[in-house]
Amino acid sequence: MRAQGNTILITGGGSGIGRGLAEALHREGNQVVIAGRRQSVLEETAKANPGMRFLTLDIEDPEAIREFAARVTVEFPALNVLINNAGIMRMENLLAQPDDLGDAEAMVSTNLLGPIRLTAALMPLLRRQEHATIMNVSSGLAFVPLALTPVYSATKAALHSYTCSLRYQLKDTAVEVLEIIPPYVQTDLMGGAEDPRAMPLMDYIAETMELLKTEPTPAEICVKNVHGLRFAESSGRFAAVFQGLNDAFSGS
């Protein structure tokens, strides 16, 4: 991926990892467009970073995604990088679930269907560019699930699988496909902003940016803190890592 001169769209770009990436990429000299549901958060982020643009988007709404993609195509015809970052994470007790599975369905719509729909809607625009990149933000929990967040973990595992297939199908095109695999990072997701067990956000962004600038850019952007989860299966340590992770969070 080129470090500069891109037009980049980041969903969920008003807070957390999305905002961190948006600000870092903006400082590198890219035109950055952030998108999300909360206009006030987007406005605050854009105001703090002169030249950054924002658009509102309900990533759960298929029709809203189609309308959004049409608007982006008109307003940002040079768009060549899509970062599917928007996501929600909620705890679930599978032994006492309500009849209404709204939380589970919202996570599937936001974390999995949202990136799939937005990627499909923007594919014609991305295919027109000389060089383009699609980055999907999954999670270390795609590889070792956190039992407290079963559907969240499952959506990230599915997004990883989708990303692998997308990369293969686009291998003979000018569109590269990357996967960003964060560890537990200090953000407001699940109230982890002050959790000392989590990686500081600025440290995470700095290490991620260094990996994105590597040539050739690795297909999977894995900071060192996530290696234990990402490679648990291949190292033969899945059972031990799964047990340790879930024991550590069983009282959370």
> For 141-169, what is each residue's pLDDT tens digit?
999 999 999 999 999 999 999 999 999 99
Residues 6 or more apart in contact with residue 223 via CB below 8 angstroms = 182, 183, 199, 204, 207, 208, 211
Strands annotated E in 48-207: 53-56, 81-84, 132-137, 175-180
Instruction: Cis check for the bond before 216: say yes or no (omega within 30 of 0).
Output: yes
Please name which of 147, 154, 142 lies closest in space to residue 94, comparing C-alpha atoms. 147
Asked whether residue 242 carries a pLDDT value surpassing 90, the answer given is: yes
pTM flag (> 0.85): yes
Please name which of 21, 8, 13, 15 lies closest in space to residue 223, comparing C-alpha atoms. 21
Hey, which residues does 46 pair with through a beta bridge? none
pLDDT of residue 252: 57
Task: Spell out the domain ranges in the chain.
Answer: 7-226
Asked whether residue 190 carries a pLDDT value surpassing 90, the answer given is: no
Cα 129 off chain centre by: 22
pLDDT of residue 132: 98
Hey, which residues does 8 pair with through a beta bridge? 32, 81
Percent of the chain surpassing pLDDT 90: 92
pLDDT of residue 192: 75
Q: What DSSP designation does 67 have?
A: H
User: What span, in angstroms and rounded, lies between the C-alpha atoms of 248 and 23?
Assistant: 32
Asked whether residue 243 carries a pLDDT value surpassing 70, the answer given is: yes
Asked whether residue 251 carries a pLDDT value surpassing 80, the answer given is: no
Asked whether residue 131 carries a pLDDT value surpassing 70, the answer given is: yes
Residues 6 or more apart in contact with residue 186 via CB below 8 angstroms = 192, 193, 194, 195, 198, 199, 200, 201
pLDDT of residue 183: 97
Active site residues: 152
Render 138-150 in DSSP notation, one character per residue.
--GGGTS--TTSH
Top-tier CATH class for 7-226:
alpha beta
Confidence of residue 24 (pLDDT cuts 50, 70, 90): very high
> For 72-107, what is each residue's pLDDT tens digit?
999 999 999 999 999 999 999 999 978 889 999 999
